[in-house]
């Protein structure tokens, strides 16, 4: 009986595999949309856009965001202005991306091939995509369009106040300005997403009423202090390209602490770039007799993310990486901390890597500086375990307090992988009464996801912003969260939304280096803090609300690409934002 049962299981698995194989051959994912009528699909399932994978939709005329000359013929009947055509193109692009991008589709090729593309009908969920475009009001099919639907969409064009923003010059233009599209370094965005220092074009927005950014949202304070704690938040909506200037609150605060150090500086860093001000501050500290020690991450391959880390070693008296030559599985777990201890009494920690992207404010990070000898003692105990060669699961929990009362603030500190940090986070989520706001790089942790859904079900206001890259992360939970009615926005700025944090009930802040993932909790070296302080929580809540307002609501249903025209600055920042080996205009999404 057992023999036949085993045979049955094998046959069943074979049948399921065959069905899956046929499915993969029949359906192919959409990797990119050049415009709503030209899509790029992954025919060979290698995760990249290759020659012959661009599909033009036949007999379909549709509005184009970046080429007003390609407006459908029926637009002439209504004598649409350039602004209306571009706005309709913006809306059509959002609609097309929301139903196609990253979705499996079936393509029926017509046989027509040009140097630009193959022609074919696309089907999504067994529905003809061309027909969906026509029914949406954004396109005509075989010369026919649905007038009522089109007029309905036309009503909304006035509400979409779009501008052309030239990232290099920092100027913004009306969408019909002849100077707006002269540069390749531009994005078409809502006015509300303009950086605060954007300058109006003197030709198309010369009048005062045109030059005022009425919809722009004033940034809140990015730093707050209470007692012995200072909170620093970086606003990546204002910095669209990383630099080495060290002119941000986070970088200047780090340098100030280095310059004040008299005896010791202990760095636990995922990696470092040579930002001159930071390097010089460490150099000067060493010269005045400060003992500098460091632990850092090192991969078992030659693909370390921060290749300049080892150039700092000549400044370091004692250092240790988590690299073990004959244990690649162990080594490939991350020493992902980002904390610095000064003179055994001050701790600088959070989500910010000591890198160009972190220190320049190009990424959105959350950092705290805490003056406390007791907390510094706990961090030092963790640091010295790693300095002795005990990383990851080799560490043991120090016999020291983890909960502190500091000038009216309650602070709890947890270290991965031994502290099972998610249990502490879930306890706070389960006790939430009013709101839970989550600015986080990613969410893949199943139990944290379930706790957030349960909070939503008991009418807690849950809102989440995640990084654009995180929609394609293995085990990502953003779809599950959306399916359970939790608003989840993907950010659409060049830098990463890199914080790993939660703000709860104007009472708690959770932040640190740990992503809300299984690896962050159970494999990597991480530190997470729970800070109970109403003043700081209110400050962070205002900052989250600002970020939420800056990111258009279209990204509640559509996922912004990490590199592409809809992600502001990503095509001109010199960064491979989506880790596909292609930078800026090498990437087809930017062309």
* Cβ-Cβ contacts under 8 Å for 508 (sequence gap 6 or more): 428, 502, 530, 531, 532, 537
Please check the confidence at residue 212 and state whether its pLDDT lies above 70. Answer: no
Which strand ranges, in their side-by-side order, compose the sheet holding 409-416? 403-406, 409-416, 526-532, 508-512, 502-504, 435-440, 461-466, 488-490
Q: Which CATH architecture has domain 2-153?
A: Beta Barrel (2.40)
223-556: CATH topology is Endonuclease; Chain A (3.30.870)
Q: Higher pLDDT residue, 384 or 311?
A: 384
Task: Judge whether residue 213 has pLDDT over 50.
Answer: no
- 344 neighbors 377 (Cβ within 8 angstroms): yes
Candidates 210, 198, 202; CA nearest to 171 is 198
| Tens of pLDDT, residues 472-484 | 888 999 999 999 9
**Token pair in block for residue 290:** 């400060």
% of residues, the chain, pLDDT over 70: 93
- Indicate if the pLDDT at residue 186 is higher than 60: yes
Label residue 280 by pLDDT band (50, 70, 90): very high
SS3 content of the chain, % helix, strand, coil (to 5): 35, 25, 40
Mean pLDDT score across all residues of the chain: 90
Q: Is the pLDDT of residue 216 over 80?
A: no
Exactly one of 239, 333, 500, 507 is catalytic; name it: 500
Given pLDDT bands bounded at 50, 70 and 90, which one contains residue 237?
very high
Nearest to 275 by CA among 241, 247, 239: 247
pLDDT for residue 184: 66
Q: Which of 5-19, 220-234, 255-269, 534-548 has the lowest mean pLDDT?
A: 5-19
Give the span between the Cα atoms of 591 and 581, in whole angstroms: 15
CA dist 253 and 185 (Å) reads 33
- SS3 at position 170: coil
* Residue among 498, 507, 523, 550 flagged as catalytic: 498
Cα-trace Rg, the chain? 26
Pairing outcome for strands 118-124 and 54-56: parallel
Q: Is residue 16 over pLDDT 50?
A: no
Catalytic residue from among 93, 322, 467, 505: 505
Rounded-to-integer distance, Cα 438 and Cα 509, Å = 10
Residue 511, SS3 per DSSP: strand
Sequence ranges of the domains in the chain: 2-153, 161-211, 223-556
Predicted pLDDT of residue 210: 45
Using N-to-C axis directions, what is the helix angle for 276-287 and 249-260, rounded to 10°?
10
pLDDT at 175: 86
Task: With beta carbons less than 8 A apart as the criterion, state whether 397 and 418 touch.
Answer: yes
Tell me the H-state helices in 388-459.
Answer: 421-430, 446-457
How many other β-carbons are positioned within 10 Å of the β-carbon of residue 525? 28
Tokens coding 284: 């000067």
Q: What is the pLDDT of residue 263?
A: 98
pTM of the model: 0.86
pLDDT tens across 137-176, in order? 999 999 888 989 888 888 888 778 899 898 888 899 998 8
| 376 half-sphere exposure, CB direction, 13 A CA radius | 20
Q: Which band of pLDDT confidence, cut at 50, 70 and 90, is reported for residue 49?
A: confident
Dihedral of alpha carbons 346, 350, 354, 358, sign:
negative
Q: Which residues lie below 8 Å from residue 521, measured CB to CB, with a gap of 6+? A: 416, 417, 420, 421, 422, 445, 514
121 vs 111: CA distance, rounded Å: 11
DSSP 272-311: B---HHHHHHHHHHHHTT-EEEEEE---SSS--S-TTGGG
Q: Is 419 a catalytic residue?
A: no
pLDDT number for residue 20:
41
Active site residue 500: yes
Mean pLDDT of 291-300: 92
155 is catalytic: no
What integer is the mean pLDDT of 316-325? 92
Least trusted range by pLDDT, from 149-153, 329-333, 429-433: 329-333
């Amino acid at each position: 009986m057992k023999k036949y049962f085993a045979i049955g299981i094998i046959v069943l698995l074979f049948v399921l595999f065959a069905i899956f194989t046929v499915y993969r051959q029949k359906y192919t994912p959409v990797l990119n949309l050049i415009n709503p009528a030209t899509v790029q699909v992954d025919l060979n399932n290698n995760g990249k856009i290759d020659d012959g994978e661009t599909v033009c939709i036949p007999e379909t005329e549709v509005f184009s965001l970046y080429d007003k000359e390609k407006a459908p013929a029926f637009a002439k009947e209504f004598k649409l202005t350039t602004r209306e055509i571009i706005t309709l193109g913006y809306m059509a692009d959002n609609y097309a991306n929301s139903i196609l991008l990253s979705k499996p589709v079936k393509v029926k090729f017509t046989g027509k091939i040009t140097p630009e593309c193959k022609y074919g009908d696309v089907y999504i969920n067994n529905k003809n995509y061309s027909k969906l475009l026509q029914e949406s009001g954004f396109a005509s099919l075989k010369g026919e369009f649905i007038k009522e639907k089109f007029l309905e969409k036309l009503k909304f064009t006035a509400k979409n106040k779009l501008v052309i923003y030239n990232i290099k010059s920092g100027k913004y233009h009306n969408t019909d300005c002849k100077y707006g599209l002269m540069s390749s370094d531009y994005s078409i965005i809502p006015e509300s997403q303009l950086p605060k220092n954007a300058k109006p074009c003197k030709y198309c927005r010369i009048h005062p009423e045109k030059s005022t950014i009425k919809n722009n949202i004033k940034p809140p304070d990015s730093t707050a202090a209470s007692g012995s704690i200072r909170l620093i938040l970086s606003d990546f909506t204002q910095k669209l390209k990383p630099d080495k200037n060290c002119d941000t609150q986070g970088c200047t605060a780090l340098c100030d602490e280095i310059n004040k150090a008299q005896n010791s500086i202990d760095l636990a860093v995922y990696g470092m770039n040579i930002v001159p001000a930071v390097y010089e501050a460490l150099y000067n500290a060493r010269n005045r007799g400060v003992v500098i020690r460091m632990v850092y991450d090192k991969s078992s391959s030659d693909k370390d993310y921060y290749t300049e880390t080892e150039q700092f070693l000549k400044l370091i008296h004692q250092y240790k990486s988590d690299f073990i030559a004959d244990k690649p599985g162990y080594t490939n777990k991350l020493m992902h901390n980002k904390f610095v201890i000064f003179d055994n009494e001050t701790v600088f920690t959070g989500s910010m890597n000591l890198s160009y992207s972190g220190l320049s404010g190009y990424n959105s990070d959350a950092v705290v500086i805490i003056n406390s000898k007791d907390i510094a003692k706990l961090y030092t105990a963790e640091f010295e375990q790693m300095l002795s060669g005990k990383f990851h699961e080799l560490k043991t929990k120090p016999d020291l307090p983890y909960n502190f009362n500091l000038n009216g603030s309650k602070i709890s500190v947890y270290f991965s992988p031994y502290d099972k940090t998610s249990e502490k986070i879930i306890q706070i989520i389960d006790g939430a009464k009013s709101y839970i706001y989550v600015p986080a790089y990613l969410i893949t942790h199943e139990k944290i996801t379930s706790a957030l859904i349960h909070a939503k079900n008991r009418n807690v206001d849950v809102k989440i912003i995640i990084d654009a890259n995180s929609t394609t992360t293995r085990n990502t939970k953003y779809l599950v969260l959306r399916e359970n009615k939790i608003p989840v926005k993907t950010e659409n700025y060049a830098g990463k939304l890199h914080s790993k944090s939660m703000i709860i009930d104007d009472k708690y802040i959770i932040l640190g280096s740990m992503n809300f993932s299984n690896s962050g909790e159970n494999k990597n070296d991480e530190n997470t803090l729970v800070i109970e302080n109403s003043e700081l929580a209110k400050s962070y809540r205002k900052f989250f609300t600002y970020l939420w307002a800056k990111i258009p609501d279209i990204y509640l249903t559509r996922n912004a690409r990490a590199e592409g025209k809809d992600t502001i600055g990503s095509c001109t920042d010199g960064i491979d934002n989506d880790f596909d080996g292609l930078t800026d205009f090498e990437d087809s999404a930017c062309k």
